[in-house]
Copies of this chain bind each other. A is one copy, B any other.
């Protein structure tokens, strides 16, 4: 199933964005030509340029749409869990599930060299979804469940492990499916910033 929502975009735009997601991740932005997009999406050159100003605008729209969708899903998770540790586990599970169900999405967000084709864009880690991840850790410090330390250090250590494992999974370096590592990785990542030594469930 497509990850992108059908609400904000026309059918043509959506077809192009979905093809762009696949092709940009698999071949790279610069190795994907407009003719490639035409073939993969079934939309003609003219229609593509009617819907988007240029090739770069396709990437920008795609990025923006993905980040919006991710924000929406994060908010749902935050609504279901109140405390830092529960939120951290739920967000980690969601990241790992997304990496398995929509590997292209995760790959595009995590490893696409956005700077290379969107030079004006701020680094991905300054986008709202990453701010939300950090805010949860900050909440933990206020709650007393996370050790007082530099927020960037805490965020890097906790989510860094999750994201690194996801990257290893996307690169085909893991023997088992990603989700089978969920419990183990979230436990050790949480342990790195938890305030006490009782790790029990």
Contacts and interface: CB of A to CB of B under 8 A. Distances in A.
A103 interface: no
Nearest to A32: B116
A49 interface: no
Interface string A156-191: 111111111101100111100000010011001101
Contact of A185 (B156, B162, B188): B156
Contacts of A197: 197
A148 B103 CA distance: 29
Contacts of A158: 161
Interface residues of A, number: 46
A189 B161 CA distance: 9
Nearest to A194: B191
A159 B164 contact: yes
Q: Which 8 A-B pairs have the closest CB atoms?
A: A160-B164, A28-B116, A192-B192, A157-B161, A30-B30, A123-B171, A156-B165, A156-B164
Interface of A: 27-31, 111-113, 115-117, 123, 125-126, 147, 149-150, 152-165, 167-168, 171-174, 181, 184-185, 188-189, 191-193, 197
Given A157-B188, A192-B192, 17 more contacts: A29-B116, A30-B30, A30-B31, A111-B113, A123-B172, A125-B167, A125-B171, A126-B173, A152-B165, A152-B174, A152-B181, A153-B188, A156-B185, A157-B161, A160-B162, A160-B164, A188-B192
